[in-house]
Amino acid sequence: MAGTQTIVFSGAYIDGTWQGGDKLKSIPVVNPANGETVGEVSSCGAEQARLALEAADRAAPKWGNMSIDERAKCINAFKAKLIEKKDEILKCDIKETGKVTGNAEYDLNMLLDCLPYHVEEVRRNYGSVFPSPDNSAVSYTKHTPVGVVVAVLTWNFPLLNLAYKLGPILASGCTCVIKPSEETPLATCMCINLLSECGFPDGVVNLVNGTGLDLIEPLCHSKIPRLLTTIGSTAMGRRMIGYSASSIKRFSLELGGDSPVLIFADADIDHAVSDIVGLKYANGGQVCVSPNRVYVEKSVYQQVLDKATAKAREYVLGSGDDHAPKGEVLQPAISEAHLNRLLGLVEDAKKKGGRVLCGGKRADRPGFFMEATVIADANDEMAMQQEEIFGPIFPVRSFDTADEAFRLANQSEVGLSSYVYTKNVDTVLRAENELMTGNVLINGVHYSIELPHGGIKQSGTGKDISSLSLRDYFDIRRITIKRKAAS
């Protein structure tokens, strides 16, 4: 429950109530914009994971057998309750993430949008009829919920990540156990706490807070869940798969990104730079689809560097707690440890030939702020070109030919998103065919709820949002009815 000074959620949310908090240690939640503790949650372990899974398992038959109209009444009531508590949820989201206000609104609005969207997609989730060639039977497919889902969420967009999972879980008739990130659990807990007022059967949604070290193994190793899903790092996805072998399970995993950007000389350079710099510094660079490796054709390399640096210098540092900062606002890194990692990437780049054109330092103010940074002459030896940056660092290098550009873009073992800027139709068609990423975006950044989102290679499996996301949450059963044989 919420206190007046700090926000406290004690225990695990099981069967519609918070249970067992008096037996558990607590985890502090820190505001990255100022370093102050703003709340705490309980550090749950294997026992709470077991109880939550058993509650979800008990609730699965009742929730799964309800019609979509019956489920929609509960889901719509939940959305209404979220809107009623919107201001309180937004303030909580801002305090635990350091988000700017518009970014926090986007985070919450995705949850408000995903809930009804997936209800309507389930209404249109039609089966197929298979006529028998000899007219001896009628067969059709039926979609039934897979059952219990374990959803492990990361910290960069707490409510969007919740939305991408809870939307299809609830609409499909599945039940779940949610594990939020220990960095940003408060707004998620605040939302889940409202479910008990919305008519859901007990146990449909359960939540356990705590560290991945304490919870991932018992949640994934259990034989109860049928589907394991996460938005997180590739390392997290591998851990979940590794722990899961006690039974056959499904996976829907949106994992790490290492997004390449290809800017060709014939592109609209102003548009390309504005697009990519804006995406790079959004959410403090802590976005899975953020540009990570920017490749620019040599003849326009300096032009792109100059324009990108000028735009980076326009950013001011702040969060939703600040009083209307002017200009483009860059929010903080999520933690001291994450900020130090980013600063280490800059130092590594400098030692390996990178030129810091702007930023590269910790800001002289409270909180975990890093200045908007542009690195010229990036190369494959740099750590920031071998791993996901997840921060406000914009590394740029040049290329000579299209062959080189596509080779560089595809050399990563992960493949979530890629971006191409060109006016040449042949280059566009080559990008569409050759770039090995789940999302290929050409001449613009565009993400939307109706578009499937997910990666290939080591960026995971399955899709979030769009109608395709529901495939992971349903079993497709074939039903055959034999006709009575003619006498």
Tens digits of per-residue pLDDT, 72-105? 999 999 999 999 999 999 999 999 999 999 999 9
Instruction: Assess contact for 436 and 415: CB atoms under 8 A.
Output: yes
What share of the chain in percent tops pLDDT 70? 98
Residue 254 a catalytic site member: yes
pLDDT at residue 279 greater than cutoff 50: yes
- As given in the structure block, the two tokens for residue 160 are 């969007």
pLDDT at residue 466 greater than cutoff 80: yes
Q: Which residue has the tokens 């018992």?
A: 218
Angle between helices 425-434 and 402-409 (to 10 degrees): 30
Start-to-end C-alpha separation, the chain? 70
Tens digits of per-residue pLDDT, 1-40? 444 479 999 999 999 999 999 889 999 999 999 999 999 9
Query: Which of 121, 183, 254, 297 does the annotation list as catalytic?
Result: 254
Integer angstrom CA distances of residue 208 from 10, 201, 215, 443: 10, 18, 8, 42
Tens digits of per-residue pLDDT, 329-369? 999 999 999 999 999 999 999 999 999 999 999 999 999 99
Tens digits of per-residue pLDDT, 32-80? 999 999 999 999 999 999 999 999 999 999 999 999 999 999 999 999 9
Q: Give the pLDDT of residue 4.
A: 44
Closest CA to 474 of 147, 249, 244, 175: 147
Instruction: Assess contact for 376 and 355: CB atoms under 8 A.
Output: yes
Domains of the chain, earliest start first: 7-255+459-477 (3.40.605.10), 259-448 (3.40.309.10)
The count of other CB atoms within 10 Å of the CB of residue 252 is: 24
Q: Which residue has the tokens 């990666």?
A: 455
Rg of the chain over CA atoms, in angstroms? 24
Q: State whether residue 71 is helix, strand or coil.
A: helix
Quote the CA–CA distance of 283 and 95 in Å, as a whole number: 14
What phi, psi does 110 have (nearest 5°)?
A: -65, -35
The count of other CB atoms within 10 Å of the CB of residue 411 is: 14
Tens digits of per-residue pLDDT, 432-453? 999 999 999 999 999 999 999 9
Q: Give the sign of the dihedral formed by CA 264, CA 268, CA 272, CA 273.
A: positive
Query: Which of 74, 174, 288, 358 does the annotation list as catalytic?
Result: 288
Q: Give the pLDDT of residue 196.
A: 95
Looking at the chain, how many residues does it have? 487
Closest CA to 147 of 39, 250, 227: 227
